[in-house]
Amino acid sequence: MVYFIVKCALSGIIIAVVSEVAKRSPAFGALIVSLPLVSLLGILWLWRDTGDAERIASHAESTFWYVLPSLPMFLVLPAMLRAGVSFWPSMGVSCALTVILYFITAWSLGKFGINL
């Protein structure tokens, strides 16, 4: 249980730090967020919990494929905000687009024998 609390606390601290940094410098906050910290932490926790190299390899490969359809969100959101659409509808459309692109990506990759 202590291990779980440490994982949650460390993950939460990273998010809080990024949030505070982004208040002062949006670009630097974005740089920190663009680092694959969550993925690296996930891989570290997975290694500690399982020690299974194949599971980690599969996780890392799947992460790569799921990052690609998430990228358009970071263009749609600012475009909508700058066009005068309020925050919550912009966020909702951006997230919905990402979910749709996730399904399209998983379906498309399945045609090539890559199962996510």
Q: Is residue 26 part of a domain?
A: no
pTM of the model: 0.75
- Reported as a single tens digit per residue, the pLDDT across 17-33 is 888 998 999 888 888 87
Q: Is 57 a domain residue? A: yes
Q: Per-residue pLDDT tens for 38-72? A: 888 889 989 999 999 999 999 999 999 999 999 99
Are 98 and 69 in contact by the 8 Å Cβ rule? The answer is yes
Q: What residue has token string 């990228």? A: 71
Q: How many domains does the chain have?
A: 1
Token representation of residue 74: 């970071």
Q: What angle do CA 59, 61, 63 make, to 5 degrees?
A: 70
Range of the domain at 74: 53-116
| Residue 79 in domain | yes
Residue 69 lies in a domain: yes
In a domain, 47, yes or no: no
Does residue 25 lie in a domain region?
Answer: no
CA distance 63 to 67: 6
Helix (H, G, I), strand (E, B) or coil at 55: helix
Residue 75 lies in a domain: yes
Q: What is the pLDDT of residue 116?
A: 83
> Rounded distance, CA 44 to CA 56, Å?
9
**10-24: burial string, b at 16+ Cβ within 10 Å, e else:** eeeebeeebeebbee
Q: Which band of pLDDT confidence, cut at 50, 70 and 90, is reported for residue 101?
A: very high
Does the pLDDT at position 100 exceed 90?
A: yes
Residue 75 DSSP SS3: helix
